[in-house]
Amino acid sequence: MSLMNVFNTGESALAANRMWLEVIAGNLANAQTTRTDEGGPYRRKVPLFSEVLDAEMQGVRVSAIEQDQSPLQRVYKPGHPDADKDGFVSMPNVNVVTEMVDMIGVQRSYDANVTVMQAIKSMANKSMDIGR
Amino acid sequence: MRIDGFRTPGVGQAFGGFPAFGDFPAMPEALSSDSKMPSVTDSFEASEDDGPGAHFAAILNDAIDSVNAQQTRSEQITMDFALGKAVDPHAVMIENAKAETLVHLTSSVTNKMAQSFQTLMNLQI
């Protein structure tokens, strides 16, 4: 049913946005993390979105969460336990301002997708007026 | 001619002597060979399958089945959410919105169908 397809598409977009927000939350939480399981400081994570095309929807999904390979910040902190012999610490390549901007984008995108679903719902309601 | 008209085979045969009783059962045989002969039960069953009103009933049933399925899904996901399972809040709201829209659509369509049926029933012949 095409009406339900729009709902399914919107739901996939909302789920993808929620996932993106989770990634941003992780990035912000680890903005100062210098130790990770794979060794070295935390690297910023980036979600990758893929299109989903099937009979039920034309949506989106998070196909992978990759690491941002941009260089790490070198900060002079001689007292830090992870400082090298010159007193420099490799800090995560997370820029808090970038994350905040992304977060605004996620919120707006979420709003837009909710609006799409409100639109299809009001269209369905409007179509019932034909029978009146 | 009129007298000939009275000459039904039975009467003629009666005059020529009664036929053996064994000749008569030809008629039930002919009946039984005609398998499409309608019977009371046949016509009764047929009226349930495709008599008047069957299409209205089928359309209404189909619509209500699909709405019922959506209602069940909506109820299930709402329950899962209330029980603290890993369900997205937007998924709950979307399933509820789907169910609500379908119920509205069904009630509109049902009203329209009932109205059509009434209109047909009230036709002056």
pLDDT tens, residue by residue, A66-81: 999 999 999 999 999 9
Helix (H) or strand (E) holding A65: strand A58-67
Q: Please tell me the total number of residues recorded for chain B in this structure.
A: 125
Put simply, the answer to whether A125 touches B109 (Cβ < 8 Å) is: no
Of B97, B109, B111, the CB nearest to A117: B97
Three-state DSSP at A88 gives strand
Q: Is A62 on the interface with B (CB under 8 A)?
A: no
CA gap B20, B22 in Å, rounded:
5
Across A14-30, average pLDDT = 95
Per the listing, tokens 């903005």 go with: A31
Closest-CA residue to B102 (of A101, A10, A3): A3
Tell whether the model's pLDDT for residue B11 goes beyond 90: no
> What is the radius of gyration, based on Cα positions, of chain A?
21
Query: Among A99-108, B12-21, B62-71, B83-92, where is mean pLDDT lowest?
Result: B12-21
Percent of chain B with pLDDT over 70: 58
**Interchain CB contact of A16 with B (< 8 Å):** no
What's the average model confidence in pLDDT over B107-116? 86
- CA B33 from chain centre, in angstroms, equals 28
* Average confidence (pLDDT) over B70-95: 90
Q: Which pLDDT value is given to residue A43?
A: 93
CB contact residues (below 8 A), chain B span 36-95, against chain A: 88, 90-91, 94
Predicted local confidence at residue B1, as pLDDT: 45
The answer on pLDDT for B86 being more than 80 is yes
A96 CB within 8 Å of a chain B CB: no
Q: At what angle do helices A96-127 and A2-29 cross, to 10 degrees?
A: 160
Average pLDDT over residues B73-97: 90
With an 8 Å Cβ cutoff, is A124 touching chain B? yes
Higher local confidence (pLDDT), A67 or B125: A67
The Cα of A116 is separated from the nearest Cα of chain B by a number of Å equal to 12
Which of B94, B104, B108 has its CB closest to that of A11?
A: B94
Banded model confidence at residue B49, pLDDT cuts 50, 70, 90: low
Distance (Å, whole) CA A21 – CA B34? 76
Is B62 or A62 the better-scoring residue by pLDDT? A62
Residues 6+ apart with CB under 8 A from A74: A88, A89, A90, A91
Residue B122 confidence (pLDDT):
93
Which of the two residues, B14 and B88, has the higher pLDDT score? B88
> Is it the case that residue B70 has pLDDT exceeding 90?
no
The Cα–Cα gap between B82 and B92 comes to 10
pLDDT per position as a tens digit, A89-105? 999 999 999 999 999 99
Nearest to B113 by CA among B48, B68, B67, B63: B63
Average pLDDT, chain B: 70
Nearest CB to B101: which of A114, A121, A131?
A121
SS3 state at A89: strand
**A68, HSE (Cβ side, Cα atoms, 13 Å):** 20
Structure tokens, A88: 């420099």
